[in-house]
Amino acid sequence: MSHPYHLLDVFTDRPFTGNPLAVFPASEGLRSQQMQAIANELNLSETVFIGAPLAPNHFPIRIFTPTLELPFAGHPTVGTAHLLAATAMAERGRPLTLSAAVGNLEVSFDGDLAWFTTAGSPERRQSSLDRAKAAELLGLSPSQVVNEPVIASRGLPFHLIELDSLNALQQAIPSAAAWARHVSSSGVEQLYLYVAMNDEGGIRSRMFSMESDIREDPATGSAAAALTGMLADMLEGQAPNVRRWRVEQGVEMGRASRILSETDARTDGQQRVRIGGQAVLIGNGAISV
């Protein structure tokens, strides 16, 4: 049986930049093992499988990397929303709900941007890395690591490591041996490196994850949500109440991406995080299973 799919570049408005994504708009009949095998065959950061609609503008989704299923990821959420609108499977003028393993992701459209509100509970805890271990892991000096790394999450956890300059960010090369010593024991196999830019709200970042080997990702909305949510929590009580962030990622890979984030305080005191971005449809195909 043939299963059609679409290819998009996400968190960009230009083909062949941003983060590639495959989306299967009709995955009914595919078993979990088949979805995983297809994601491995395509070998993209993530592949999305859309199920039959639960209601108008409400779709279940499953997200797979080449080796495992994820409860949530940012660029698949943004890319899937853009595809549903582009193919008229969803109405652009009304709210869209994507049901992932982490919970319902509420999506809205604003011009050429798709925005979603994170569904995961805020988390922040001590990292298995300190400044010295992070420096050893990345091939840097401890002076290039700003403060102690932490683990933060808005649906998917990351070790957040602030570096002191773009030069340090560009130089960073994770060591597989140091990763095994210092990262794997934490159970969190994702690193998000970042540098705060001089312009207000500007951030440059890189994301590395370990599956069968160390992989770099050109745009990671879930990591941007974890980072900006943490930064907003640190600024709690300071004006302004609503903050906007612009995260540039993928530059070192030649796949420049732009992730937008808005944070604001909810009535229960928790910071709400919204992630937005563009996407371009670049092709389609079909896989026989």
- Active-site residues: which are they? 46
**Residue 266, pLDDT score:** 67
- Rounded to whole angstroms, the Cα distance separating 250 from 206 reads 7
Looking at residue 267, its pLDDT comes to 61
Distance in angstroms (rounded) separating the CA atoms of residues 192 and 253: 15
**Distance between CA 281 and CA 249 in Å, rounded?**
20
Crossing angle, helix 74-86 and helix 221-234, to 10 degrees? 120
Cβ-proximal residues to 116 (8 Å cutoff; 6+ apart), any chain: 74, 77, 78, 81, 98, 105, 106, 107, 108, 274, 275, 276
Q: Please classify residue 140 by burial: count the beta carbons closer than 10 Å to its beta carbon, then call 0-12 exposed, 13-18 middle and 19+ buried.
A: buried
109's enclosing H/E stretch is strand 103-110
The answer to whether the CB of 222 falls within 8 A of the CB of 117 is no
- pLDDT the model gives residue 93: 87
Domains along the chain? Answer: 2-119+278-288 (3.10.310.10), 123-271 (3.10.310.10)
**Full pLDDT tens readout for the chain, 289 residues:** 899 999 999 999 999 999 999 999 999 999 999 999 999 999 999 999 999 999 999 999 999 999 999 999 999 999 999 999 999 999 998 999 999 999 999 999 999 999 999 987 789 999 999 999 999 999 999 999 999 999 999 999 999 999 999 999 999 999 999 999 999 999 999 999 999 997 778 999 999 999 889 999 999 999 999 999 999 888 877 767 779 999 999 999 999 999 999 998 766 667 889 999 999 999 999 999 8
Question: Tell me, what amino acid is at 137?
Answer: L
Q: Residue 205: which residues within 8 A CB-CB, separation 6 or more?
A: 169, 192, 193, 194, 195, 220, 223, 224, 227, 247, 248, 249
Residue 10, SS3?
Answer: strand
Instruction: Decide if 2 contacts 269 (C-beta within 8 A).
Output: no
**Model-level pTM?**
0.94
End-to-end CA distance of the chain: 6
